[in-house]
Chains A and B, each alone.
Chain A
C-alpha cells in the first residue's frame, strides 16, 4: 500500500488477500463457536436419548426404592460410576416379571453373554477427570447433579455439567457445609433419631472438604 493512501494504490491482489484474511478469521471463529456450542455439555441439558431397553428409573428407584448404589456400586469406590452388568439385572429378573418382552430380551442377551449397549446420557470430555467417590464420601447427594432420577421414566441430563457450574459449588466454601445440615436432617428421618449420623460426624470435621479450583484438580 502506498504512503499517500490513494485508492489507486490498492491492487486487486491486496483486496484478495484482505478478503481471504477475513475469511480465515471469520471462518475460524465460526468454526470454534460451532464446536464450543455443539460439544458443550450445556447444549445437552435435558438430553434424553432413547435407550435400547426402556429401563425406567421411576419404577425401580422411585416406586420400588432400590438405592442408587445397588446398581451403580462403583460410584462409591472409584472415579467412575459404572453402569451395572446384566448379572445385576438378573439378580431379580430371573424371578420377577420374566414374561415381559423386554425382560425376555435381557434374559436372551444374558444367556448369549452379549452386553447391552446403553446410550450415554452424561458425557464429560476426556480432558476432565471427575471423581464420583470423592463427592459421595463428602456427602453430596446423587440428586444434586443428576436430578431426581427416581422421578424420571427416561433419564435425562439434569444439570448443565459445564465447568462454570462445577466451579460455582467449589468456590462457595460453605456449600457442602450448608447442605450437610439439610442432609443430616434427611438421614435422621430415614434412620431414626437414635442411630449415629454419618453426616453429623462430617459436620464436625474441621477440613472444609471442598477441593480447590486449581486447573489440575480436574484437567491433566
Chain B
C-alpha cells in the first residue's frame, strides 16, 4: 500500500517538475515591449511586498502626507464608517413606483421586446443591418448580402451609434453661433445666395458616392450657378490621380486580394486604415484559411516605414525610410524587368536601381529583394503591388507601382479600374477654391462632410476664409470649421435619413429612427434651397431609383420594398479594362540627409479624426501600441537610446518622456513611445488627434500633427518623409497603454503558437511545442460537469485574424461595456471584455514577427474563478458557460485574481454613468444600450459570456419552431463583425459543427493548456508563409 502511495507521490513530483520546466525554464520567445526584462518584474514584486510590509513608512498615519482628497487608509475608513452610518438611516426605503406606458396605437407587426432589423447603408458605403428595439437602433451589423463588405464591419462603423446618440450634436441651426429656427436660417441663406455674384457660390464636399445626393447637388449647382470643389482629409487621392492619368473619368484601382498569390505593399496599410479595409480583409483572409484545408495560402511582403496592421500580418516585413520607398520599388522593378519583357527605355532607367546598389541604401539585403522579385515572377497575373503613404514622391511611387503591375500582368486580373465617383470629373479642386477665395471671388461657401480648418492645419484655409463673405457648414457636430461659420445647419445622422450609395452595387440608405433633433440631411438642405417648395427627400430618392434602376417588371412599390428589405442591389459600376498610363519615371526627389524622417499616418480606428468625439473609439487601444486616449511620437529603440528617451510601461509606473518634435518653424510636444520595428531615422505621429472642437469627449485629446503636413509642388499633400528634429523636454507624460496590463511572467511558451508554412506542412503539430502526451493529474473533479444538451465553444483562427479590433467595438455595443477613461486605464482598469494581445518575437529593435491574439473569457471547464468565489456569483452552466451573475457579486475580486487569462473586469466606480468621466450618460445616450444585457454598476465583476443573451434568444426561437438548432445559427457579436471570419462559434457536443471540427484539428491549441483549465475556446496557430521550400 505504501509502495503505491510512494509511486503516486513520485508521479506527482515528476509532473510538477515537468510543468515547472514548461513554465519557467524555457528561453523567452514572445515579448510585449522592448527592455521588458526581469527588472520590471522585480518592480512589481517590490510593489507587492510593500503593501503588506510592517515597516512600511507611508502607511503610518503620522507620516502620511494627508489631504482631504488624498486621505490615509485609516482616515478613509473613518469617513466610510461615518457615511455608511448615515446611509443606514436611508436604507429603509422601498422600490420606487414604476408605470407602464403602452402605445395608444401600436405599430403594425410590432411586438414589445422583439427586435426589428432594417437593412441600410452606412455613410462609408458599407451595407449594414440595424437592430432596433422599441424603435431605437441599438446595434449595427454588416449585411452579409452586400457586395462591398459582405457581412464584416469595421470598428468605426460599429461605433456610429454613439455619434447618433451624441447629446452634443447640432440640434437645429445656428446663426452666428446662436440657435435659430430653420425658417429664419433658410430665409437668411437664400438671401445670401441670391445676392452673391454670379459664379461666386461654391460647395466644398468630399467624394460623393450617392446618386441621389449627386442629383440634389447638381440641381443646386445649376440654380445658383455654383461650382463644386472636392477635398480629402489629409489628401488621399494620389492613387486615383495616378491611375486616371489620360482618362476622361476619375478612376480608382480596385484590388481582388482573393485572386492574388503574392502581394507586395509599400507603405499601404490596406488591412488597417484604408477606407476599404473591411472589403480587403474579407478577400485577403480568404487566402489565409490554411486551417480549413486550403494550403495554397497567399504571401504578403511589406516594406513600410511605420508599424501598421498590414505589417503585423506580413509574412515578410522590412522597415524602410519613407525617402527610400521609391528606390525600393525601382529595385524590385529592376529585378522583375530582367525576367519579363520591358521597354528598353524603362530598362535603362531601372539599371540605376540594381539590388546591389539599393540594398545598402534602404537597409534590405539583396537576397531579400531577390526573394520578393522571385515570388512576384512566380505569380504573374496573380500578384498585386500597391503603395501608399503620401511620401515625398507620391505620384512617382504610384507610377512605379503601375509599371510593376503591368510587368506582372496584374491589370484586369487582380486589379481593375472602376469609375466609382460620378461627377467628380466636372468638379474642381480644393486648391482652385483656395485661389479663387484669395482673389476675392467666393461670396458663399457651403462646406459639407469636411473639416478643412482642422485637416488643412497649415493655415491656408484660414487665410482664404477671411475673404469669404458667408460660410455655411452642414455638420452633425460643432467642429472646428463649423465654429467659424455664420450658419451651421444641423445634419441628420445616416441612421436618420434617406439616401443611397453607389460603390460596388447601389444600395439604399433608409432611416431607422426619426431624427432625434430638428436636423436635415444634406440632400434635403440642398433641395430646399434649390426649390422653393418643401420636398420629401424619400420621394426624391424613390423617383430617382424609379428612373435609373427600376427595370420595369411588376409594380415599382413591390420592387422598392424588396430593395429596402435586401439593402442591396445589382452592381452598377462600370469597370474599365484598360491599363493606366505611366508618367515618365523619375529619380527620387531628394538625396539622403541625416535628418530624421517624420511619418504622419492615420490609425485604423480614428482615421481622419472625424469621429474623435466617439468615446468607444478613443477608448479602443491602438492596434499596435495599445495606447488609448492620445497620440504620441513613435521612435525606434536605437533613437531612444541615442537621445535618452525613456518609457516605462509597467502597470502603475506609466511614464513616457515628452519630446519636442520640430519641422521647420512648427513644433509639437508629444509623449514618446518606443516602437519596435522602426528604422532608427524614422519617427511617426498619428493624425486625427488634437481636435480643438470635438465636444466633451474628443476636444484636446492628443495633438494635431496635421500642422506638419506639406503641400508638394504637384498639389498633393506630403505626409511622410518630412525632415524633422526631435529633442528632450525634461517633462514626462503617462500614456494610458494596455500593452503591459498583464505580464507574461515566463508563460509565453503556452500562450501563442506560431510556425512557418514549410514547418507546418511537414508537421501540423509543429507549433505545439512542449505538448505532453500524458494528461496532467487534475485537482478538479473532472466528472462534476456533464453537458446534456449543448456545450458552447469557440475557435479563433490566428492565421486569419488581422487584429482590426472591429470585434472589440462590436462587443462594447452588444454588451453595454462602459468607457472607463484615460485615468482609469493607467491604473489597469480597461473594461473591454475582448481584447487584442500583441506579442513580438525576435530582436527588440527589429522584431521578426508581431502576433495578435484576441483574448476573451475562455469559458473554462475547470474554471479557476468559480472555485474561489465566496458567494457563488460565478458558476458553471449546464451548457458549458462560465456564468457571471452580476446581482450576486459582492466584489471580492478573488475570481479576477485567480483567472490565468486576466479577462475579468471590475467596475471600480460607476463607469456606466458616464463616458470616461468626460460626459454623463445624459439623454439620448442611454438609448444606445442593449436592453437584453444588464448595465453593471459599481463593485461588480464582469466578463464575456459568449453573448449569452444571443444564445438564449436563438434557442428560444428554435424551440418555437420545434426545430433542431442549426450550426451557425447563433453568432456572437465579435464573430458577426469579423471581416476575416476568424471566429467560429458553436456547439462542441455536436461532432458535425464547424467549431468541433476546428477544435479537433491537430494544430488547434488552448492557451495555457498546462494549467489544465480546459478552456472552451481553442486557437489555430499563426502560420507565416516564408515560401514552401
Contacts and interface: CB of A to CB of B under 8 A. Distances in A.
A35 B90 CA distance: 10
A79 interface: yes
Interface stretch (A25-33, A94-102, A141-149, A175-183): A25-33
Interface in A78-94: 78-80, 82-87
Interface stretch (A2-10, A55-63, A130-138): A130-138
B963 interface: no
B887 interface: yes
B104 A123 contact: no
B956 A20 contact: no
Given A77-B111, A216-B881, A117 B100 contact: yes
Contact of A118 (B99, B877, B881, B887): B99
B875 A215 contact: yes
Contact of B84 (A23, A33, A49, A117): A23
Given A24-B84, A38-B94, A78-B112, A133 B877 contact: no
B103 interface: yes
B113 A114 contact: no
Contacts of A82: 102, 112-113
A119 B97 contact: yes
B942 to A, nearest CB: 11
A110 interface: yes
Interface string B89-106: 001111101111111111
Interface residues of B, number: 52
B81 A85 contact: no
B113 A38 contact: no
Given A78-B114, A82-B112, A220-B952, A115 B875 contact: no
Interface string A58-77: 00000000000000001001
Interface of B is mostly: loop
B95 A38 contact: yes
B87 interface: yes
A165 interface: no
A21 B79 CA distance: 11
A34 B111 contact: no
Contacts of A86: 102, 104-105
A3 to B, nearest CB: 14
B959 A220 contact: no
A78 B881 contact: no
A219 interface: yes
Interface in B853-902: 875-879, 881, 883-888
B949 interface: yes
B113 A78 contact: yes
B102 A115 contact: yes
Contact of A137 (B106, B876, B952, B959): B959
A214 B881 contact: yes
B60 to A, nearest CB: 12
Given A80-B113, A133-B960, A220-B952, A34 B102 contact: no
B101 A115 contact: yes
Nearest to A112: B104
Chain A interface bracket (under 10, 10 to 19, 20 to 34, 35 or more): 35 or more
B88 interface: yes
A77 B879 CA distance: 25
A54 interface: no
Interface string B487-501: 000000000000000
Contact of B886 (A16, A217, A219): A219
B933 interface: yes
Contact of B106 (A27, A34, A85, A125): A85
Nearest to A52: B99
Nearest to A121: B100
B969 interface: no
A182 to B, nearest CB: 23
A52 to B, nearest CB: 9
B877 A114 contact: no
A5 B423 CA distance: 93
Contacts of A28: 84
Contacts of B884: 216
Nearest to A19: B81
A35 B88 CA distance: 10
Given A23-B84, A27-B88, A120-B99, A134 B886 contact: no
B959 A125 contact: no
Interface string A181-193: 0000000000000
A37 to B, nearest CB: 8
B878 A212 contact: yes
Nearest to B872: A215
A23 B886 contact: no
Given A24-B77, A215-B883, A129 B84 contact: no
Interface in A206-220: 212, 214-217, 219-220
B39 interface: no
A116 B100 CA distance: 8
Contact of A43 (B94, B945, B948): B94
A82 B113 CA distance: 9
A214 B882 CA distance: 10
B879 A220 contact: no
B932 interface: yes
B378 interface: no
A216 B948 contact: yes
B156 to A, nearest CB: 28
B87, B933, B952: most-surrounded residue (chain A CB, <10 A): B952
B63 to A, nearest CB: 16
Contact of B100 (A74, A120, A127, A220): A120
B873 to A, nearest CB: 8
Contacts of A133: 956, 960
A44 interface: yes
A204 interface: no
Given A78-B111, A133-B956, A110 B97 contact: no
B80 interface: yes
A215 B91 contact: no
Contacts of B88: 26-27, 30-31, 34
Nearest to A125: B887
A24, A27, A79, A117: most-surrounded residue (chain B CB, <10 A): A27
B12 interface: no
Contacts of B879: 214
B87 A27 contact: yes
A214 B92 contact: no
B997 interface: no
B74 interface: yes
B761 interface: no
B24 interface: no
Nearest to A138: B959
A121 B952 CA distance: 26
A134 B953 CA distance: 11
A39 B102 CA distance: 24
A126 interface: yes
A25 to B, nearest CB: 9
Nearest to A212: B878
A119 B97 CA distance: 7
B74, B97, B99: most-surrounded residue (chain A CB, <10 A): B99
Contact of A113 (B77, B97, B100, B104): B104
Interface of A: 16-17, 20-21, 23-24, 26-28, 30-35, 38-39, 43-44, 49, 74, 77-80, 82-87, 109-110, 113-120, 123, 125-127, 129, 131, 133-134, 137, 212, 214-217, 219-220
28 contacts: A16-B78, A24-B77, A24-B81, A27-B84, A27-B85, A28-B84, A30-B88, A31-B84, A32-B91, A34-B91, A34-B93, A38-B93, A39-B94, A39-B95, A80-B112, A82-B112, A87-B105, A114-B104, A115-B102, A115-B103, A116-B101, A117-B101, A127-B887, A131-B956, A133-B960, A216-B883, A216-B948, A220-B933
Given A77-B111, A79-B113, 10 more contacts: A17-B77, A30-B88, A31-B87, A82-B113, A85-B103, A85-B105, A87-B104, A110-B104, A118-B100, A120-B99
Which 8 A-B residue pairs are closest in the complex by CB-CB distance? A34-B91, A214-B877, A27-B84, A80-B113, A82-B112, A20-B81, A215-B883, A85-B103
